[in-house]
Chains A and B, each alone.
Chain A
Amino acid sequence: MLIIRDLHANINGKEILRGINLTVNAGEIHAIMGPNGSGKSTLASVLVGNPAFEVTQGEVLFYGKNLLELSPEDRSRAGLFLSFQYPVEIPGVSMVNFMRAAVNEHRKYNNQEPLSASEFLKMMREKKEIVELDSKLANRSVNEGFSGGEKKRNEIFQMAMLNPKLSILDETDSGLDIDALRIVANGVNKLKNDDNASIVITHYQRLLDYIVPDFVHILYKGRIVKTAGKELALVLEEKGYDWIKQEIEE
């Protein structure tokens, strides 16, 4: 589904990604861990086409298509979703109008008719259940006045509405209490199937107790320096990142 080859990227002229290689297949969950500043969020931003970052080298194929040539909106329509670490507030734009525009853009891209108002509202009601999102939140402006936990739940709600092929969860666990974490993780698990895949970016093992990865990658100084099964997360939890750093420096 996703093939990343030798990906390099800059922000403000500073190189953050220095040769990423990663392959994600349908049905897989990949965790990306690593110390602060290692490039985890940059990788997520580059994949979804955030214009603040400049790709200087390498290629990314998504279902065989050159992902880097697509506009951010076309990447979304092609099935790429990012759960933002810091979702922005959009005052005045109701969640209903926002999601309706998004869902219908996706449908148009796939040569489907737009949903009628009643079909759409029915879909909203169903998907809200997945993350136990309060009905009132859906009638408010996008993320406006939402608590940290509500914003993250709202991200997963949008993921449920758009049904992406590949979802990237960027520190979705940060700022969540244990109950909210469980609700969010359950939501992600419910959306999981054999045709889609996830990249879970996190600092901590605790999210991976709920969302169990097939692979754990350690990102350090812009490169993936170690890849193993889920047990690697436990080692990191216990020993921190220092041993990795030492291993690399040697």
Chain B
Amino acid sequence: MKDKNIIDNITTDDYKYGFTTNVQTDIIPVGLNEDVVRLISSKKKEPQWLLDFRLNAYRHWLTMKMPTWAKLNIPQIDYQKIAYFANPMVKKPKNIDEIDPELVKTFNKLGIPLEEQKHLLGGVAVDAVMDSVSVKTTYKESLADLGIIFCSISEAVANYPDLVKKYLGSVVPYTDNFFAALNCAVFSDGSFVYIPKGVRCPMELSTYFRINAANTGQFERTLIIAEDDTYVSYLEGCTAPMRDENQLHAAIVEIIIHDRAEVKYSTVQNWYPGDKNGVGGIYNFVTKRALCKGNGSKVFWTQVETGSAITWKYPSCILKGDNSVGEFYSVALTNNYQQADTGTKMIHLGKNTKSRIVSKGISAGKSQNSYRGLVKIVKNADNARNFSQCDSLLLGNECGAHTFPYIEANNETAILEHEATTSKISEDQIFYCNQRGISPEDAVGLIVNGFAKEVLNKLPMEFAVEAQKLLQISLEGSIG
């Protein structure tokens, strides 16, 4: 064999969601200043308190610098060259029949139906967001019968201002970090979920984020409130067209969980990752945080991260309530020139709090994939427990896998465990599969899905199958 490595010769396969939609879009001029912040707020017809919130955030942002501690090589971003608001629904539709058919077609093509099915509750309700605007939220009325509020954050500001005012920025303040401050200043749409006391949400709630317009950033804002004794499972998916320039997605997700309530938050992140030479792709700089406020409250983060040119994301749990539980399950896959620095923070404040971290990193091509996690036990957090497991799988010789676990334990009763492994898919393993009739692509798919199984099993059924396929598709061309 002439130095022919089975696992090299890296090329990307088609990104299935790379098409653009031709729809009349109202885009404000590029650039960022106080007038732009005011313009966004006025376009959304916001109350004064929210404009003040935005302006405070903007002024604070001006004093901040982009964080450089992540193991990421982030090119200079010119924030004056980005458009901060793009509305693909120039006419406000009253019902589904009035939505531009192009938009309906787009979401259908993405596998996101905007029509409600006739059958009863039990499926998936969707909030479909394109660029800066929520196109449609399904099953809103049926959910309202149970007292559940599921709508876009813009509608929530208009219809439930007290709830939004009470909780917005309460978990991630605008002072939190550079991208959080930016988001607070210019955030557009995202979802709002409110589960009233004692209600178990019968449907999976989901938001599908789509970037369509060029030169625009998407600043998603999601707020989930789970009152006492509630349960909700929420899913998030995202895609974007293939473009040569990089586009910014800077989101904030805040979750507030009261006594004995349970929130499951699952993400399948498939933003355009750039081409095989590292041109284009989304910069995904995201702050997601759950506050387990109540006694015995629980949060489960599950993420499958396959897209984006750069991912900077640490869904975190603040375990404030006694006996609260936070779990984080992650599969992060990088190929070609993708970079990911992702992980979690488990902040144990309450007594008898438990956390669990399972992180699976898969690196191929020339990509760099880092796990970064903090487990912090404060002085009064008696009997806190954490288990962390970080596994890395390498395909080829030119990619990198890194693990940065931080532990701060300030209470003697804490019990912390940390396990880590690194392995590589060998050509012998692939050939063994070939000899049994399994193609190289399918062999890598089998091995990668086996590696990620523990995390994929945590996803809701509909998503688990999709995620499995996605892992395999994302690696297509990484062997040759």
Known contacts A54-B1, A162-B437: A72-B450 contact under CB 8 Å? no
Nearest-CB distance from A226 to chain B (Å)? Answer: 29
Task: State whether B450 touches A91 (Cβ < 8 A).
Answer: yes
| Minimum CB–CB distance for B145 against chain A, Å | 38
Q: How far is the CA of A94 from the CA of B439 in the complex (A)?
A: 17
A87-141, CB < 8 A from B: 87-88, 90-94, 97-99, 101-102, 105-106, 109, 141
- Taking CB atoms, residues of chain B closer than 8 Å to A248 are none
| A97, B446: Cβ atoms closer than 8 Å | yes
Specify the chain B residue showing the minimal Cβ separation from A101. Answer: B438
Collect the chain B residues with CB atoms within 8 Å of residue A162's CB. 436-437
**Which residues of the partner chain B approach A90 to less than 8 Å between Cβ atoms?**
429, 432-433, 446-447, 450
Cα A54 to Cα B428 with chains together (Å):
16
A82 at the interface (CB under 8 A from B): yes
User: Do B450 and A53 touch (CB < 8 A)?
Assistant: no
Interface residues of A in 47-106 (CB under 8 A from B): 48-54, 71-73, 75-77, 81-82, 84, 87-88, 90-94, 97-99, 101-102, 105-106
- Cβ of B4 within 8 Å of any chain A Cβ, yes or no, is yes
Q: Which residues of A contact B431 (CB under 8 A)?
A: 50-51, 72
Assess whether A178 is interfacial by the CB under 8 Å rule.
Answer: no
Is the beta-carbon distance between A102 and B429 smaller than 8 angstroms? no
* Contact yes or no, A52 B1, CB < 8 A: yes
Determine the chain B residues whose CB is within 8 A of the CB of A172 once the complex forms.
none
Interface size on A, residues (CB 8 A): 37
Task: Please give, as numbers and ranges, the residues of chain A lying within 8 Å of B423 by CB-CB distance.
Answer: 91
B30 within 8 A of A: no
Contact A73 B432 (CB under 8 A): no
Contact A82 B446 (CB under 8 A): no
Q: Are B453 and A73 in contact (CB under 8 A)?
A: no
Shortest C-beta distance, A51 to chain B (Å), equals: 5
B118 on interface, CB distance cutoff 8 Å:
no
Pairwise interchain contact B432-A51, C-beta atoms closer than 8 A: no
Chain A at the B interface: SS class = mixed
Most B Cβ at <10 Å: residue of A92, A98, A105: A92
Residues in A with CB closer than 8 Å to B2 are 54
Say which residue of B4, B428, B434, B446 sits within 8 Å of A76 (CB atoms).
B434
A50: min CB distance to chain B, Å: 6
- Does A228 interact with chain B (Cβ within 8 Å)? no
**Residues A73 and B438 in contact, CB atoms below 8 Å apart:** yes
Candidates A11, A71, A92, A99; contact of B434 at CB < 8 Å: A71
A window 130-169: CB within 8 A of B: 141-142, 158, 162
B451 proximity list for chain A (CB < 8 A)? 91-92
Determine if A93 and B447 form an interchain contact, defined as CB atoms under 8 angstroms apart: yes
- Residues of chain B within 8 A (CB-CB) of A84 are 432, 435
Interface positions, chain B 394-433, Cβ under 8 Å from A, are: 423, 426-429, 431-433
Q: Are B447 and A92 in contact (CB under 8 A)?
A: yes
Residues of chain A within 8 A (CB-CB) of B437 are: 73, 76-77, 102, 105-106, 109, 162
Mark interface residues in B173-186 (1 if CB within 8 Å of A CB, else 0): 00000000000000
Q: What chain A residues lie within 8 Å of B4 (beta carbons)? A: 51
User: Is B464 located at the chain interface by the 8 A CB criterion?
Assistant: no
A76 touches B435 (CB 8 A): yes
CA–CA, A11 to B2, complex, Å?
9
Question: B96-124, CB under 8 A of A: which get 1 and which 0?
Answer: 00000000000000000000000000000
Task: Give A15 to B1 CA distance when docked, in angstroms.
Answer: 12
Tell whether, in the assembled complex, residue B446 and residue A98 are in contact, meaning their CB atoms are under 8 Å apart.
yes
State A101–B432 Cα separation when bound (angstroms): 13
Q: Find chain B residues with CB under 8 A from A81 CB.
A: 435
Q: B447, A102: Cβ atoms under 8 Å?
A: no
B442 located at the interface, meaning its Cβ lies under 8 Å from any Cβ of chain A in the complex: yes
- In chain B, positions 424-480 with a C-beta closer than 8 Å to chain A are 426-429, 431-440, 442, 446-447, 450-451, 453
Assess whether B436 is in contact with A87, with CB atoms less than 8 Å apart.
no
Bound state CA distance, A71 and B431, in angstroms? Answer: 11
Chain B minimum-CB-distance residue to A51:
B1
Q: Please, which residue of chain A has its CB at the minimum distance from the CB of B2?
A: A54
Known A97-B450, A98-B446, A106-B437: A88·B1 in contact at CB below 8 Å? no
Any A CB within 8 A of the CB of B143: no
Residues from chain B with Cβ under 8 Å of A92 in the complex: 447, 450-451, 453
A48 CA / B453 CA spacing, docked (Å): 31
A106 — which chain B residues lie within 8 A by C-beta?
Answer: 437
**Neighbouring B residues of A102 by C-beta, 8 Å:** 433, 436-438
Measured between beta carbons, the chain A residues less than 8 angstroms from B435 are 48, 72-73, 75-76, 81-82, 84
A105 to B434, CA, bound (A): 11
Question: Counting CB contacts under 8 A, is B6 at the interface?
Answer: yes
How far, in angstroms, from A76 to B2 measured CA to CA in the complex?
24
**CA–CA, A114 and B107, complex, Å:** 32
A contact residues around B432 at 8 Å (CB): 84, 87-88, 90, 142
Residue of B6, B433, B434, B435 ringed by the most chain A CB atoms within 10 A:
B435
B450 touches A141 (CB 8 A): yes
| Bound-state Cα–Cα, A10 to B76, Å | 51
Of A53, A77, A98, most B-chain CB atoms within 10 Å: A98
CB of A48 to closest CB in B, whole Å: 5
- A158 CB contacts on chain B under 8 angstroms: 436
- B1 neighbours in A (Cβ, 8 Å): 11-12, 51-54
Query: In the assembled complex, which residues on chain A have CB atoms less than 8 Å from the CB atom of B447?
Result: 90, 92-93
A51 CA to B446 CA in the complex, in Å? 21
A sample of 12 cross-chain residue pairs with beta-carbon separation below 8 angstroms, ordered by A number, consists of A50-B431, A51-B431, A54-B2, A73-B438, A81-B435, A84-B432, A88-B429, A90-B432, A91-B423, A98-B433, A102-B437, A105-B437
Chain B residues in the interface with A (C-beta under 8 A): 1-2, 4, 6, 423, 426-429, 431-440, 442, 446-447, 450-451, 453
8 extra interchain contacts, Cβ-Cβ under 8 A, other than A82-B435, A93-B447, A97-B446? Answer: A12-B1, A72-B435, A75-B435, A76-B436, A90-B429, A93-B446, A102-B433, A105-B442
Q: Interface residues, chain A, CB within 8 Å of chain B?
A: 11-12, 48-54, 71-73, 75-77, 81-82, 84, 87-88, 90-94, 97-99, 101-102, 105-106, 109, 141-142, 158, 162
The 5 A-B residue pairs with the shortest CB-CB distance, nearest first, are A92-B450, A72-B434, A93-B450, A102-B436, A76-B437
